[in-house]
Amino acid sequence: MARVLYDLCGIDEKLRFSPYCWRVRYALAHKGLDFETRAWHFTDKEALAFADYDKVPVLVDGEETVTDSYEILRYLDRAYPESPLLGDGVAEARARFFKHYAERSLAPAMMRTIIMDLLNAIDPKDRDYFRETREKRFGRTLEEFHSPAKGLAQLDAALAPLRGQLQENDFLDGGAPAAADYLVFGSFMWARVVSTADLVSNADPVYGWLERMLDLHGGLGRNAVRITDIEGAYR
Ligand SMILES: N[C@@H](CCC(=O)N[C@@H](CS)C(=O)NCC(=O)O)C(=O)O
């Protein structure tokens, strides 16, 4: 049976922007595993009832159904031990730091910068749901939350540890990419797919890493459909 990844789509089914799904796409490519995707919308909760979950990514691998991007990476290491993503013990505990760093430092800064582009990239049938749930989460309207100047300043500060690491290594996991890179890069793919905002200047050591990440696995990220590829969709 084909391996299936339920993957968030936007205004066009080809527009795939979930940072969590991008982690898993890179992880599957890292392991050399084939998969198909099923385009999923925010409001398509019934389509995930079989997994008893309401978010993507969901990976169906034969008899196994696994939810949550980090748990999927752990599952992939258990089921396919070659080319480890997270590793075991101490390595896995350290990799987990990058999940929290991406979710708590990078993503909020990016969200402030690209939120209106993100809304525009979402399928119109999902926009009310997105607005309602996110405004509740932020405690203000999307328009009030939107502040590219603040977001970019916040991002610049949050990138400091990446700069240190990337001045010494080509990848966050050292000489070759693994889970730390994928956990963090998923957020950059999210921004890249929905927005044309320049988040990182080309003089920044992070920029070279982004370019290397885009080229990995046969240009997986570089070849992804972006909002600008969809006729009439970019504001
Ligand atoms: N902890 C989860 C988070 C997954 C998540 O939040 N996915 C978003 C898409 S980026 C989602 O499906 N949201 C559904 C919703 O907001 O109702 C993971 O790492 O996979």
CA of 55 to the centre of ligand 1 (A): 4
- Is the shortest distance between the CB of 179 and ligand 1 below 6 Å? no
Choose among 19, 12, 79: nearest CA to 213.
19
For the domain made up of 89-229, give the CATH fold: Glutathione S-transferase Yfyf (Class Pi); Chain A, domain 2 (1.20.1050)
Could you report the per-residue pLDDT of 60-82, keeping only the tens digit for each? 999 999 999 999 999 999 999 99
Q: Report the pLDDT averaged over residues 143-172.
A: 98
Maximal CA-CA distance, the chain: 49
- Residues paired with 40 in a beta bridge: 8
Q: Is the CB of 156 under 6 A from ligand 1?
A: no
Q: Which atom of ligand 1 is nearest to the CA of 99?
A: 19
Residue 2 has pLDDT above 90, yes or no: no
- Find the Cα–Cα–Cα–Cα dihedral 130, 133, 136, 141, rounded to 10°: 10
Question: Does residue 185 have its Cβ closer than 6 Å to ligand 1?
Answer: no
pLDDT, mean over the chain: 97
For the chain, the domains span 4-79, 89-229
Residue type, 207: Y
Instruction: Check if 182 has its Cβ closer than 6 Å to any atom of ligand 1.
Output: no
CA distance linking residue 148 with residue 199, whole number of Å: 10
Average pLDDT of span 80-105: 97
Residue 34 is predicted with a pLDDT of 98
Atom number of ligand 1 nearest to Cα 56: 12
Q: What is the mean pLDDT of residues 116-143?
A: 98
**What is the end-to-end Cα distance of the chain in Å, rounded?**
41
Task: Give mean pLDDT, residues 31-44.
Answer: 98
pLDDT of residue 235: 66
Token reading at 88? 């075991």
| Tokens 């299936």 sit on residue | 4
pLDDT score of 1 more than 70: no
CB of residue 69 inside a 6 A radius of ligand 1? yes
98 lines ligand 1 (CB under 6 A): no
User: What residues have CB less than 8 Å from 218, skipping those under 6 apart?
Assistant: 29
With a 6 A CB cut-off, is 154 part of the ligand 1 pocket? no
> 89-229: same fold as 4-79?
no
Alpha-carbon distances of 49 from 55, 67, 159, 229, rounded to whole Å: 10, 12, 38, 32
Confidence at residue 234, expressed as pLDDT on a 0 to 100 scale: 74
Residues 66, 59: contact at Cβ < 8 Å? yes
**What per-residue confidence (pLDDT) applies to 17?**
98
Which is it for the CA torsion 47, 53, 55, 57, positive or negative? negative
| CA 126 to ligand 1 center in whole angstroms | 14
**Domain 4-79: which topology?**
Glutaredoxin (3.40.30)
The answer to whether residue 88 scores a pLDDT higher than 70 is yes
